[in-house]
Amino acid sequence: MNLVWLQSGGCGGCTMSLLCHDGGNVVTTLRDGGIELLWHPSLSEESGAEAIDLLRACASGERPLDLLCVEGALLRGPNGSGRFHMLAGTGRAMIDWVRELAARATHTVAVGTCAAYGGVPSAGMNPADACGLQYDGDAPGGLLGAEYRAAAGLPVINVAGCPTHPGWVVETLLALEMGALAADDLDALGRPRFYADHLVHHGCSRNEFYEFKASAEKISDLGCLMEHLGCKATQAHADCNIRGWNGGGACAEGGYPCINCTGPGFEEPGHPFLQTPKLAGIPIGLPADMPKAWFVALAALSKSATPGRVRSNAVSDHPVVAPAIRKTGLKS
């Protein structure tokens, strides 16, 4: 399968993340899986006229285009012309190239939350009129329209994340090459379910503190980051703490709360990232699928049962009390 990768309005962070793929050289990994990277603006040798000729060949159908990956938000301004972002040397707006290539592609993939939903470039007053390929925030539409389907019949596949995990990208592309990704394998926001059916909370190293509602009070503390520091791991869809990043890291593992970067609108939560909005002392953003009354009852019970070790360690930047050593009383 031939793959063309375009970079639109963004920081290039998803490409930087991709280069940290645990499997090693990502171009070789894709090639071994039957995918040929025809062109990537940062990784390919072709530039200038060579690159433009290749894109024109794909747009005309002269060169088969199996996989179109777009990184970064689509900039429709000013006034729908797209002239805020021109593809150098072509005299044409990037959004025109994306529309033309998407009409030829067997599969179209939004790499990162900017390409999926608009992301950071769409924040604030959004003077660039930035949007995603098939979503504008959480509303279907975007650049290509809600009814868009690639040649194979799938909508845009939203490999969301800011940046997206390299494993999500590589596994999505390889699944498409093998014909192993169907409409039922995407969630309600177009994300591949192999990672989006998990919550970031799953596998979090702070889960003992969460269970006892032993909360961190400042960013360097070991405790749960949900109650006071804005962590949305119990609501965010991703497997970050299960597969880890760059050999095993994750945001909460590094001491920073999850900001739900795989979801539309994460860039403007309506409150500071390191603050948990509350009503009558109760966090507004409760864990997914959990009724408020149950959470309140569970939190009260958990806090009353919190071991002293957990309570002390939660507000420290290192373990100050070690677990007790006790005989279990069990015999084989």
pLDDT in tens, 163-217: 999 999 999 999 999 999 999 999 999 999 999 999 999 999 999 999 999 999 9
282 falls in which pLDDT band (50, 70, 90)? confident
Residue 224 in this model has a pLDDT that exceeds 80 = yes
- Does any domain span residue 208? yes
- Does any domain span residue 46? yes
Mean of the per-residue pLDDT values of the chain: 94
The pLDDT, as a whole number, for residue 332 is 63
- Does any domain span residue 327? no
Full domain range(s) for residue 96: 2-196
Same domain as 25, residue 134: yes
70 falls in which pLDDT band (50, 70, 90)? very high
**Cβ–Cβ under 8 Å, residues 2 and 63:** yes
Average the pLDDT over 46-67 and give the result. 96
Same domain as 114, residue 69: yes
The pLDDT tens digits for 88-143 are: 999 999 999 999 999 999 999 999 999 999 999 999 999 999 999 999 999 999 99
Average the pLDDT over 34-53 and give the result. 95
296 falls in which pLDDT band (50, 70, 90)? confident
CB atoms inside a 10 Å sphere around CB 147: 9
295 falls in which pLDDT band (50, 70, 90)? confident
- Does any domain span residue 47? yes
Percent of the chain with pLDDT over 70: 100
The pLDDT, as a whole number, for residue 292 is 78
Same domain as 89, residue 55: yes
294 falls in which pLDDT band (50, 70, 90)? confident
Among 147, 171, 196, identify where a domain stops: 196
Same domain as 313, residue 275: yes
Phi then psi dihedrals of residue 234, to 5 deg: -80, -5
Same domain as 96, residue 80: yes
- Does any domain span residue 328? no
The pLDDT, as a whole number, for residue 299 is 82
Separation between Cα atoms, residue 99 and residue 86, nearest integer Å: 14
**Cβ–Cβ under 8 Å, residues 158 and 132:** yes
The pLDDT, as a whole number, for residue 162 is 97
Average the pLDDT over 244-257 and give the result. 89
Per the DSSP assignment, residues forming a β-bridge with 75 are: 130
Q: Residue with structure tokens 């970067």?
A: 261
Query: Quick check: pTM over 0.85?
Result: yes
Looking up residue 229, the CATH number of its domain turns out to be 4.10.480.10
- Does any domain span residue 143? yes
Of 134, 179, 174, 167, residue with least CA distance to 3:
174
**Domain count of the fold of the chain:** 2
Residue 327 burial (10 A CB sphere; 0-12, 13-18, 19+): exposed
- Does any domain span residue 329? no
